[in-house]
Amino acid sequence: MKKALKIIATVLIIVVLIIGIMFVYDRATIGNQYKINEKNLLIPIIIYHDLVESEDQIQYDYMQTTYETFKKQITGLIDYGYKPITYKDLIEYSKGEKSLYKKSFIITFDDGYEGVYKYAYPFAKENNIPITSFLINDKVGTDGYYSWDEAREMDKSGLVSIYSHSMKHDDYDKYKPEDLLNDVTTSLAQIEDELGHEVEKVFTYPCGLYSEEGRKLLEDNGIIQNLTDSKINQSKTLNLYGLHRMYALEDPVWKILLKIEYRHFRYGG
């Protein structure tokens, strides 16, 4: 019995030492940057929708997040060593044209809610970090959604990238591929017209609904696509036409970090 306990204790000590060494190495190399073929990086894309002031305004926990929770999550990730990046950064990285920090992530907002302009945009300016908003064209300027004037203001700051979340937020898994393509290209064209410049061809599926035929047609037309499947992007298998995204919800930072590692091992990219 004593011998078995000694073996267990020895194994535990070794495990603790390995974890400690890995943590020290991680902290020591936190500022390193890598090209896509130099190291397998985990690149989480975090989903938000609307930001609100208080918890009593939350009707659906996956749709609304309090500003205070959002602020704690993002500042916590940054304090841990994560660097917010843009889709432009990710595109250039995928082509081997740019290096990314060891811990990079993208902050995204779906739908184009007013909370993006009211809370996320000032936060981005205050902390000089990039965020991305996917708007629904037909909702812009309607009740609860930011206007084109507000979109232009955010865009001109250089901190907010604005892309397509479709023309009308429909079930696009039921669309013919050519109809989906028409919807997305029309949406992106209007965004470019309203902002007054070209934007990267980036699209996020409403409710994560898509067909493989539609996804392939968009890929053939060079449209970067975001899925909603809670997996983690890895540079060794990075696919710009099927990017993985995860919800932050109300999770504390330590739980978000655990989810990143868990999904890395579970799904393998």
Which pLDDT tens digit goes with each residue over 86-103? 999 999 999 999 999 999
In a shared domain, residues 259 and 214: yes
Amino acid at 158: G
Same-domain status, 17 and 96: no
**Confidence (pLDDT) at 260:** 92
Distance CA 52, CA 58 (A): 7
**Element holding 193 (H helix, E strand):** helix 177-195
Count: domains in the chain: 2
- What's residue 136's pLDDT? 98
Using pLDDT thresholds of 50, 70 and 90, give the confidence band for residue 12.
Answer: low
Same domain, 191 and 59: yes
Average pLDDT, the chain: 91
Hey, which bits of the chain come out as E strands?
A: 33-34, 42-43, 45-48, 50-52, 64-66, 83-84, 100-101, 104-111, 131-135, 160-164, 202-204, 224-226, 233-234, 246-247
Same domain, 100 and 141: yes
Alpha carbons 186 and 223: distance in angstroms, whole number: 13
Q: Using CA atoms, how far apart are residues 223 and 241, in angstroms rounded to an integer?
A: 7
Pair (232, 216) in one structural domain: yes
Tens of pLDDT, residues 125-171: 999 999 999 999 999 999 999 999 999 999 999 999 999 999 999 99
Question: Higher confidence at residue 124 or residue 7?
Answer: 124
Query: What mean pLDDT comes out for the span 42-46?
Result: 96
Both 124 and 23 in one domain: the answer is no
Residues 84 and 153 in one domain: yes
Domain CATH for 43: 3.20.20.370
Shared-domain flag, residues 17 and 48: no
Residues 13 and 124 in one domain: no
- Given this model, what pLDDT does residue 141 score? 97
Distances (CA, A) of 172 to 61, 129, 169, 185: 24, 32, 8, 14
Give 204-233 pLDDT, tens digit per residue: 999 888 999 999 999 999 999 999 888 899
User: Quick one: 154 and 51 in the same domain?
Assistant: yes
Structural domain range at position 194: 36-267
Q: In this structure, are 116 and 7 located in the same domain?
A: no
Query: Residue 114: pLDDT above 80?
Result: yes
Same domain, 74 and 203: yes
Q: Among candidates 94, 99, 138, 116, which has minimal Cα distance to 49?
A: 116
pLDDT of residue 9: 58
